[in-house]
A = this chain, B = another copy of it.
Amino acid sequence: MPLVLAGFGHVGRAFGSLLLDKEVTLRFRYGLKLCLQAILNSDGGLCSSARSGLDRVIDIGTKPLAAYPNWRPGLQPQDVLGKINPGVFVECTPSDIQTGEPGLGDIRTALKTGWHVVTANKGPLVVDFQGLRNLARRNHVSLKYSAATAAALPTLDMALYSLAGTEVLSIEGILNGTSNYILTRIGEGTGYAAALKEAQEKGIAEHDPKLDVEGWDTAAKLLLIGNSVLGLGLKLRDIAVEGITRIPPELPARAKQEGKAVKLIGYLTRAGSHWRAGVSPRAIDRSHPLFGVVGTNKGISFTTDTMGSVTATGGKSDPRGAAAALLKDIIHIFARVQ
């Protein structure tokens, strides 16, 4: 099964290295032989024959792609996708939730030329969820994005597979590890600015933490979950987004005194005949299934008609966790599990 990998940052590299680590598991547990035939970044790429594959390239770790002898500057996904027998296009370029690019155009090209797509990139789906789903359906291929909806935490799996046959009545999630880490530290008595600085020093928060702390990362994941599970057709503007930057300083301490904890909750709840979608900081108490989700951990809780409330928590937030979610999606496309 041919693979083309676009994006060779932390997640792309982790995916390449995971492919090597899991070769035997894939072959013997799932009957899958994946062959990485092209790796692309924004400047160009490497391309191999069907027989050899590029898996070994990744072994070398942090060496830039351009340093390899068969480097082709300017090589783009569209140069490759039409020329190889379609397999899976693995998309790991940086996420832009305003334009969806560069992933959006490449994913469209891949779907149109008969490639399955698995992506860790929220941008393209946030911008054109329905268009991409329709394109995949028309071309009889899969479009999967577990890695874009909280990575190793099972969110879509839980709703669509483990809760199959139920009606989901509401969803609440702690979907962003960075803001949860900062809130946890604030709950322990650290101020917002100091907690943010600490998170940045530890590599948990980005230099520009806006997307995480202002709630947009949570909102983007919520959009993907709401549209996939509930068919809501949400756009980003339909979600009421409030981040953690304006929490009154006295709130976390008061919450703690009352045995509560402040979390940044993404929620989808029914209000009569329509759904309300939002992201906001909330003080939740001990009986809440997400109360114990601390630090960079994430969690999601579904209320259903027949199975009651079911919650998933944990799952690595690092590039390897995201890579493992990409690989899981590929397994689900081809292998019958159980």
Contact = CB atoms under 8 A, between A and B. Distances in A.
A155 B162 CA distance: 9
B321 A307 contact: yes
Nearest to A32: B165
Contacts of A328: 162-166
A286 B328 CA distance: 30
A332 B164 contact: yes
A144 interface: yes
A2 interface: no
A18 B164 CA distance: 13
Interface of A is mostly: mixed
A309 interface: yes
A100 interface: no
Given A161-B162, A162-B158, A306 B320 contact: yes
Total copies of this chain within the assembly: 2
A69 interface: no
Contacts of A321: 306-308
A153 interface: yes
A167 B311 contact: no
A315 interface: yes
Interface in A306-338: 306-316, 320-321, 323-325, 327-328, 331-332, 335, 337-338
Interface of A: 18, 22, 25-26, 30, 144, 152-154, 156-158, 160-167, 228, 286-287, 289, 291-292, 294, 301, 304, 306-316, 320-321, 323-325, 327-328, 331-332, 335, 337-338
